[in-house]
Amino acid sequence: DARFPGLEEVEMAHTWSGFVCLSRNAAPGFGQLAENVWGAVCQNAVGVTKGTFGGTLAAEMALGEDNALIADMQSLGAPTPLPPRPFLDLGVRTRFQWELWRNRHEA
């Protein structure tokens, strides 16, 4: 109700929640990931559309097919590696605390 006060009287028929994969630079993992391994992963919260589309293009790449849209996906770059532990853990905990504080009025 705090986030969308105008919708407090609207009954939601369906909701979704789950894990969302995000890379530090918003780039997906796409293409040949290892020998004989192709994929379209880490879609940065648009997995239903970009993941389906990217998966189709990754399959075409694995089959040796050419598609002009493959270059578009490749132009998005690759995910930036995460920092090593313990820096990663510190950063994640700090970010979570920041988000909780920033959104404290929505609880």
Q: What are 46-75's pLDDT values in tens digits? A: 888 888 999 999 999 999 999 999 999 999
Q: 101 lies in a domain?
A: no
Q: 88 lies in a domain?
A: no
Q: Supply the pTM of this predicted model.
A: 0.68
Q: 47 lies in a domain?
A: yes
Q: 95 lies in a domain?
A: no
- Checking 58-67 for CB contacts under 8 A at 24+ apart, the result is 58/30, 58/31, 61/31, 61/32, 62/32, 62/38
pLDDT of residue 3: 79
Q: 50 lies in a domain?
A: yes
Q: 106 lies in a domain?
A: no
Q: 105 lies in a domain?
A: no
Q: 48 lies in a domain?
A: yes
Range of the domain at 41: 5-80
Our count of domains for the chain comes to 1
Mind listing the pLDDT tens digit for each residue in 8-55? 889 888 887 888 889 999 999 999 999 999 999 999 988 888 889 999
